[in-house]
Structure 1
Amino acid sequence: MRVVVIGAGQAGAALVAKLRALGHTGPLTLIGDEPAPPYQRPPLSKAYLMGEMEEERLWLRSPEFYADNDISLRLGRPVAAVDRIAKTVNLGDEVIAYDALVLTTGSSARKLPAAVGGALPGVYTVRTLADVDAMKLEFQPNRRLVIVGGGYIGLEAAAVAAKLDLEVTVLEMAPRILQRVASPETSDYFRALHTAHGVKILESTGLDRLLGETRVRGVRLTDGRELPADFVIAGVGILPGTAVAEAAGLTLDNGIATNALGQTSDPAIWAAGDCASFPWRGGRLRMESVGNAIDMAEAVAANILGANEEYQAKPWFWSDQYDCKLQIAGLNTGYDQIVTRPGEGDAVSFWYYAGDRLLAVDAMNDARAYMVGKRLIETGKSPDKAEIADPATDLKALLKR
């Protein structure tokens, strides 16, 4: 069986490795539009941007791994077209036949519209190695950075810039940072953390336009104020990579729609990772995380080989800012109460409940709360809220009930 994988990111790399580990011996091709071999994205906005990690340390596998496992890498090769009838992938100067095709096309950063100055030099996004390489030289002491968007990517970039002694301002249209993804308690925690490091956070503050003619020199806010800026980072979310799927006529639904096995509307084509939405609790879910990229890719690899097992997502995420490691277990959608649990030192965790059901945990510098919370959620256990709030409660004992 000839398997072709389009998208050489975390999901694509995990999928081809899993296929070989499960004993697939047929032709296996991994196609990526970037020139670099598959690499980690999370360190881009942290250690790599700080200059603490070399490019080679970003690579998920050495180039020798692909050669040794007879995985054909096609890097720097955008896909021109997929022919579902002929079952071929057209790279322009090469046509590759497949029996099973997998789309692990990831996601791309939303850009600020050109109408508000988003195309000006000095305006960046944080998604690819090329993105970060392009902006690294901008990070010099005392330069003025404006970040549009108070989500995790924007806040991680703000933390790096503050540590490098830049003057940083974060703009957030919503009433609070992290509003889309976290509780007010988590927002408050990170607002205080950034403020303590000298970052200015302007909430309920929209961008009117970027200022400058040949290069960005400032921003005008919706309230008429103007802020100087030596450069700007847009952290306004990501978009699922659906272009190849859409051109091939596959069904889309907040990404590439798959069934519980990972198959798209064409049973010979599969999808996994950031680009894919899958059945979840009566609806559909698309997750943007390393954990989901790996787990779904490995599940799809097994199903391509006939496992016929539905993908069971186990959501988890993380973010590093300054000396704080945030670890998130579960999905907080539908919560109606937050239980705060103090930890040792500066550790704290926020536990999301819907009624009496535990949904998710945000743990700041509290690995034990994260690990126990993750296990509880995965096993469907919901401890009493008063026990969670009591720092004397032995969390690990809750797992034995």
Structure 2
Amino acid sequence: MKGIKIKVVVQAKKENVAGWPHINFNYEKETAKIMDCVRAENPEVIFDVVKYTSVSEAERDYEADRAVYDGVLVLLMTNWLKIDLFYARKAKDGIPCAIADVPFCGSGSTLAVTSPTLRTEKLPVPLVASRDYRDIAWLVRALVVSAQIKKAVILVIKNNPDTETMAAVAQNWGCHFIVKSAEELMKLFHQVSEKEAQVFAEKWSGAALSIVEPSAGDIIESARMHIAITKLMEECEADAVTIDCLELSYFEGYENNRHMYPCLSYFQMADQGKLGVCEADIDSTLSSMLILYLTGRPGFVSDPVIDTSSDEIIYAHCVACRKVYGCHDSRTASFHIRSHAEDQKGASVQVIFPGGDKLTTINMSNKDGWACIHSATAVGNEGLDAGCRSKLVASCAAQKILENWMPMWHRVTVYGNYRKELINLFKLKGLEIIEEDK
């Protein structure tokens, strides 16, 4: 978050002017309460707070502000001045904007003007109205995460990358892509000695509940792969990586018919708060970045299965994370080291997920301009060998999700209820939002 600057605009009446909240209201005192919450949730962000009493003041400063600020938060602390609408209408091509009504201050114009205008003009601006100022703090996090993504670099390892989706993501979010081939990755792989790889192999093997199918050689290869991936990320100064693991394994992209998967590498990255995503899936990588930057928790990319007989959804994949509450949380799930399920080769993980937590699941199609979201509650794990290794079972509105499922298989799940916070992020980019469980 370092280097991110947000401008906070307080919409206020001039002195001795009657109206909500009341004449000569102490705007500074109430703003200080709000900013205490905002800064607590966003401690590394720089905030500049100004009070405007007319649109002309916002117009006067806007062009200079574009070169300085990553976002604007408008606090509606009185009615009818329409300063919020000035920023909202500029947001698509200008400074990203979020608006917060401070109840009993700007509620009249929020309901009568702001909300209908955002909706009818389809402006990319999230709006909250809450007496719990932590909601405003989390609204600001949407601006912060958007700014972080804009500065991010994603490494894609794929021989024939999906340039159309990459272009759409770059257009929508501003992040940058670096593409490398399997050959470039394998060059680094061959530079890693077995002795160097042994450190990770022993670490993973020692922490696992069991090693079922993989040989010691399979785990060493995974460790060599991990070191090669991290070296390539360092060379590219990448914030995330996604590899076309299935294509490279199935079609000998790794040479000599090697069936190597980055599952254990991504597992290790998640332990350290870093990000690796399967199958060179650009949209899922972006969704995973949003989750990690917003919540500090890893996203679990999966191939879901729906069971309407039990009102459950099973999130299944061979890449999973054991630090589901974040890398700094002491709670850690147990895991087995298994083969990759579909070809029964290489090494992957089977994580035993905790139950009882609320879950939030998303993905998006940047090419088509939509994002989807649904909620569930973790209840346990599925032990079948069919499908992928890690299988998180969750109770949900299964029939609704089945009927409303948007056209891609992958979904990204995070432990915790972050529904409204993620929806605010999607609104910031003007995406059509499909709530699959409604």
Q: Same fold (TM over 0.5)?
A: no
TM-score by length of 1: 0.23
Larger radius of gyration: 2
